[in-house]
Amino acid sequence: MRSVGQGVRKKDSAALLSGKPVYTEDVSPKNCLQVVILRSPHAHAMIEEIDVSRALKAPGVACALTYHDVPDIRFTQAGQTYPEFSPYDRLILDRHLRCVGDPVAIVAAATREQAEAAIRLIRVKYQILPAILDAKTAKDNPICIHPEENWRALVPCGADNRRNLVAEGRDESGDIEAELAACDIIIEQDYSTLANQQAMMETFRASTQLDAYGRLTVISSTQVPFHVRRNVATALGIPKNQVRVIKPRIGGGFGAKQTMVCEIYPAIVTMKTGLPAMIVYTRGESQTISSPRHAMNIHVRLGATKDGVIRAVDMFTLSNSGAYGEHGPTTVGLSGHKSIPLYTHNMKAFRFSWEVVYTNTMSAGAYRGYGATQGMFAMESAVNELAHRLNMDPGELRARNIVRQGEVMPAYYGERADSCTLDGCLARAQEMIGWKEKYPAKTLPNGHVRAVGMALAMQGSGISAVDTGSVEIRLCDEGTYVMAIGATDMGTGCDTILAQMAAESLDCPIENIAVHGVDTDHSPYDCGSYASSTTYVTGMAVVKTCEKLIRQLEAAGAKLLACDAEEVVFEGDGVRSTKDERKVTLGEIAAAQMTASVDTIAACASNGSPISPPPFMAGCAEIDLDPQTGVVEVVDYVGVVDCGTVINPQLARVQTEGGIMQGIGMTLTEQPRMDARGRTMSNSFLQYKLPTRMDAHSIRVDFVPSYEPTGPFGAKSIGECVINTPAPAIADAVFHACGVRIRNLPITPEKILLGEKEKDA
């Protein structure tokens, strides 16, 4: 193929390398009021009195808003398709404060320094309430975090605010208790993960202004422009057609910007003052009052025969949604529905149950992997523990049980794996790492121990029967094209990948496809960049649009050639008559659009899918453990991915490398900490340790393609699956190195050394 499958350079690479003004602050008005938030110092409190009179008199201050000044309309910040599963449980400003960092007042001034000075002049009297900081005690606790009468859940998902429940439910197939009773070996363990931060380089930020017609324009670093439009309109109580959202280049998101964390604050300032406003979160705010991964406690019962046939899995997930319910009902489902199906081949029964609870901690949200990462750590760790109990190679155990192409996966909503090379990924990963030679461990001359571990993963390609992507392409002067998309490129390269698909479909160089970023006034609707949807969902919209456009080009060419449309064929650079070989070029067709002889040539198509084909991955880690200090280094990590047809090998490779690196950080160094008062202590990169490229000596990536019949050119997703294998693979390598099984992340030297002491005792 000419474009698909090629390592094409990203469309925006030159602009980024040359420092062009492409980010939110670059393209926002220069005279914006600067917005700063006064935040609650308490985990749970009521505002008894608040006085902003001194702040209003401070130099440069344009407004100081409290809960008295904003609409009493509940909304959600979750960027999800309407009706959202997440409850409507927020106000712009609320008298009832539910976590440290909750907004108490909004101040806007000419400069940030003036706004910060004015914030210090506000006087607040709080009634401090008892707080719930432990998710295990939240359900049916006498302390009710959301007692308000206007709390709403739009979708039935087991939510009950009076019980501190964001969601609960169960999914099962077969007689789980009977199957477990018939098993020779049962692994029953608890695993836990923390509220990891996405830690993107560009913090949350947005600007707002009123246009000449009085409409609110929002410029935001967001993954979900159309959802932001709806949520801002809902919170302000205005029609959606009065809100326009523009998405410039995003400096990273990883799911954090699937939540409308900051946009509403400058929006209310602009609506109150009529002036442009901007908010830029500090790193401290982004670390302490944003939308991290949901902390989860997962209980697994895994049953197998003595010869290593996995027959049954029973999983229960308790998810901590924090003070608000954004993404709570949806992330939890992936913890089981994206981990249990890996072992469909011999499985006779499964049960997956879950509870999502409110606590007085920072509200959680979306993070790459979206619940599957937590579930995969638990499930794959349990499989590794089963291998140890059976005295069986973990690779051999997996090879006996993993899902094969064509098999129906009851735990994955009953979908069939029509494209699956997981067995090939597993074999290739073992080959690349040298598994047979290195498993399980060996001691080096310096006393360090080298050990290996493995894990598998799967994800999805969009949300089945929900996600929608749309594309519009029109013919321009000289026979080139302009493509308008609603999908959000957040550094992943989707602008480039979609352009590659268009170029392949239209048989032209990729340079002939110009791509416009998202503007909700001009872009066709797209759900946004999340759920690994863009390549699969919007990519097929590209293919459909091109098919429609080609029919129009053939009709226009036939008109110019004075023949029937059935007598011409599109050839990429023009339209040829099959009757007499005459040809009209694209440039000539484009020029004819400027006269009365040919209609404007443009096509638009949308795409959704009733299924969500999963990509698969096998990951193998080789670690170096210093037994004296407990320090672990990942000296080699191999990831092999089945993402269907690889559209752009270069971008797919860096996606995989980046996801693996984030997974390594989650596993070894990233440790969010909270004190007894509910304050997040890891409020900077000095406390929250992100790994650098130097911390991973070698990350190697390969692909074992399949062909997904429902995907564009056979493609599936890749963005999220790649973060899911490091935690369980590294945990098992640590066990092989020192015999210590760590089931609660992160894996720290202290835990290893304490585990060795307990083992010796």
At 714-743, the pLDDT tens digits run: 999 999 999 999 999 999 999 999 999 999
| pLDDT tens string 544-590 | 999 999 999 999 999 999 999 999 999 999 999 999 999 999 999 99
Q: Radius of gyration of the chain from Cα atoms?
A: 27
Beta-ladder partners of 700: 638
- To 5 degrees, how large is the angle CA 484–CA 486–CA 487? 115
Contact 516, 522 (CB under 8 A): yes
Distance in angstroms (rounded) separating the CA atoms of residues 564 and 754: 81
Distance in angstroms (rounded) separating the CA atoms of residues 729 and 455: 5
Q: What share of the chain is helix, strand, coil (3-state, %, to 5)?
A: 30, 25, 45
User: Coil, helix or strand for 704?
Assistant: coil
Describe the strand order of the beta sheet including 469-475 as a list of residue ranges: 513-516, 481-485, 469-475, 602-607
Average pLDDT (72-80) is 98
Q: What is the DSSP string of 146-184?
A: ---TT-B-SS-SS-BGGGTEEEEEEEEES-HHHHHHT-S
Residue of higher predicted confidence among 436 and 13? 436
| pLDDT tens string 323-333 | 999 999 999 99
- Packing angle, helices 394-401 and 372-390, rounded to 10: 110
Q: Quick one: pLDDT at residue 597?
A: 67
Query: Residue 614 to residues 33, 81, 374, 459, 526: CA-CA distances in angstroms?
Result: 46, 21, 17, 5, 21
- To 5 degrees, how large is the angle CA 663–CA 667–CA 671? 115
Mean pLDDT score of the chain: 96
Q: Quick one: pLDDT at residue 529?
A: 87
User: Coil, helix or strand for 136?
Assistant: helix
Give the rounded percent of residues in the chain with a pLDDT score beyond 70: 100
303 pLDDT band, cuts 50/70/90, is very high
| pLDDT tens string 491-550 | 888 999 999 999 999 999 999 999 988 999 999 999 988 988 999 999 999 999 999 999
Average pLDDT (647-656) is 96
Q: Quick one: pLDDT at residue 536?
A: 96
Closest by CA position to 359, among listed 15, 113, 100, 600: 100
Closest by CA position to 279, among listed 288, 270, 291: 270
- pLDDT of residue 224 exceeding 70, the answer is yes
- To 5 degrees, how large is the angle CA 673–CA 678–CA 679? 60
- pLDDT of residue 596 exceeding 80, the answer is no
Distance in angstroms (rounded) separating the CA atoms of residues 160 and 384: 37
Q: Quick one: pLDDT at residue 489?
A: 87
> To which residue do tokens 């940030």 refer?
112
Give Cα 200 to chain centroid, integer Å: 12
- To 5 degrees, how large is the angle CA 685–CA 689–CA 693? 105
Distance in angstroms (rounded) separating the CA atoms of residues 535 and 494: 7
Contact 625, 443 (CB under 8 A): no
Distance in angstroms (rounded) separating the CA atoms of residues 303 and 312: 5
Task: For residue 755, give both structure tokens.
Answer: 């585990």
Closest by CA position to 609, among listed 549, 666, 684, 533: 533
* Residue 636, CB-side half-sphere exposure with 13 Å CA sphere: 15
Give Cα 487 to chain centroid, integer Å: 14
Closest by CA position to 760, among listed 745, 742, 743, 738: 738
Average pLDDT (433-459) is 98
Task: For residue 57, give both structure tokens.
Answer: 């008199």
User: Coil, helix or strand for 702?
Assistant: strand
Distance in angstroms (rounded) separating the CA atoms of residues 716 and 708: 7
Q: Which residues are within 8 A (CB) of 709 and not within 5 positions of it... i.e. 6 or more apart?
A: 418, 419
- pLDDT of residue 693 exceeding 90, the answer is no
Q: How do 96-97 and 441-443 pair as beta strands?
A: unpaired
Task: For residue 709, give both structure tokens.
Answer: 């019949």
